[in-house]
Amino acid sequence: MKYIYVVITLSLVLFLTSCAFFGNEEQFDKGEWHFVAGSREVARIKQDKLALKKLEQTPALIGSEENLGYLGYVKNYTNEIVDIKVSGPETKSWHFSNTGEVSDHLIPGRYHCTITYKGKIVSESNFNVSSQLKEFDYKKCHWYAYASYN
């Protein structure tokens, strides 16, 4: 009988030492422990806090009220007349009569890009618009599309 009490007591001690006592993230930050949560819950909160800090350090390049969305660039590296069209959550197109670049804003989502030369689609690709920053021609942006010679 004593053996059962010892086993139960040891099991309870092992359980309690592997758990943290807190109710929410604010209590976790202050060190006010109230409820039982496993080490996975503590790790999840720590990961969430690190992800939030990283997101706060990544500034979004967002447009004005008239031009809402994330900043991106559209560029024609060719000397040819090309049309670049993106379709997804919103649809936009740009016409280039020679080399050139424009900046624009798109709302977040998945887009399909088509490049048309002399009325024929010469290139297609997909891209995502999100808060993640990219670099295009030594400039920070959230997306880009371009026409070039293959």
Residue 71: CA count within 13 A, CB half-sphere: 14
Q: Are residues 87 and 44 in the same domain?
A: no
Residue 62 falls inside a structural domain: no
Q: Is the pTM of this model over 0.85?
A: no
The domain in which residue 32 lies consists of 2-57
pLDDT of res. 105:
92
Number of domains observed in the structure of the chain = 2
Distance CA 80, CA 149 (A): 10
Q: Per residue in 75-114, pLDDT tens?
A: 999 989 999 999 999 999 999 998 899 999 999 999 999 9
Say which CATH number the domain at 97 has: 2.60.40.10
For the chain, what is the mean pLDDT?
Answer: 79
Q: pLDDT value at position 131?
A: 87
The verdict on 96 and 124 lying in the same domain is yes
**Spatial separation of the C-alpha atoms in residues 46 and 101, rounded to whole Å:** 43
Retrieve residue 115's tokens: 């490049």
C-alpha 57/C-alpha 95 separation (Å) is 35
